[in-house]
Amino acid sequence: MRTSGNVLNGFSRWWFPRSKARTLVVVYILRVMLPCVCADDPHIIHSPGQDTVKAFINISYMDRDTNTKKEEHFEGRYGKNSVIAKASGVVMHTLSLLNKSGISYTNHFGCTNYINPKFPSEQWIALVKRGECSFTNKIKMATKDHNATAIVIYNNESNTQYLPPMEHDKAIAGISVMLSLENGKQIVRLLNEGYTVHMHIVPGPDENLNAQAQNSISKTSVLFVSISFIVLMVISLAWLVFYYIQRFRYSHAKERLARRLVCAAKKAIAKIPQRTVKVGDK
């Protein structure tokens, strides 16, 4: 029995250090995987206008000095309820008459009927400035009332970081694009100098689909980590149960060994001859 007790004791000492190693493995896996899940979460970082589609704008014109075709590229954003499609045409900076406080003045906001002296005979794109009226009114005036192929609204505030979302009525179907103030002024400068500017608008990648893909990846990562954590917890729990069973068996075996030793000692003492010693005996 002493040999059995030593074996159990040695087994317990051999198994316990491995439990520490398994615990360290569990902690390491969680430490590595959980930051990945957080990094995949698309809700951590938000930038304004991510719920709209990018619009890549290309303009071309003939340079008078070099007699060569020049091109410039800009980046804008489609309106939230805009038709996402390609558009091409000659750019016209709209001119309207607006009555404000009893005073009429010409402007480029595109809120009222256009009074441009000449309209392009081919497909054309209206270039208007933001302000004075709603986006819905501007889009309706350009695409419905004046048959423009598309409308490009350049911002009235200088902000190079992002473009504000352009919301308008869903019932007004048309191609509408928001452009920065700096890019809009650059096109206006070319038009004021008498250049004929051709514009081509192409939709960029749908960032909503990218966000959905990231969200799907995030859910997959969370599911993987959750399953891994559950499996590791089950393994740890199984080891814990096994460890305490072995500990109980070892304690029980040690107790039985002690009882047997006590019984053996009593039997050995009982076999020893006993004699009563009196005072004076030799």
Q: Per residue in 68-85, pLDDT tens?
A: 999 999 999 998 888 899
Q: What is the pLDDT of residue 1?
A: 41
pLDDT digits (tens, 9 = 90+) for 233-251: 999 999 999 999 998 888 8
CB 166 within 8 A of CB 153: yes
pLDDT at 127 over 80: yes
Phi/psi of residue 202, nearest 5 degrees: -130, 135
Average pLDDT over residues 93-114: 88
Task: Assess contact for 58 and 268: CB atoms under 8 A.
Answer: no
Q: pLDDT of 36-56, one tens digit each?
A: 433 333 332 233 334 678 899
Of the candidates 30, 76, 97, the residue with the CA atom closest to the CA atom of residue 204:
76
d(CA 143, CA 114): 12
CA–CA separation, 55 and 200 (whole Å): 10
Question: Beta-strand (E) ranges in the chain?
Answer: 54-62, 69-78, 87-93, 96-100, 103-107, 124-129, 150-154, 176-179, 198-203
Task: Note whether 93 and 108 are within 8 A (CB).
Answer: yes
Q: What mean pLDDT is predicted for residues 167-171?
A: 78
Per-residue pLDDT for 252 more than 70? yes
* More reliable by pLDDT, 270 or 210: 270
pLDDT band at 169 (very low <50, low <70, confident <90, very high): confident
Determine the pLDDT at residue 157: 85
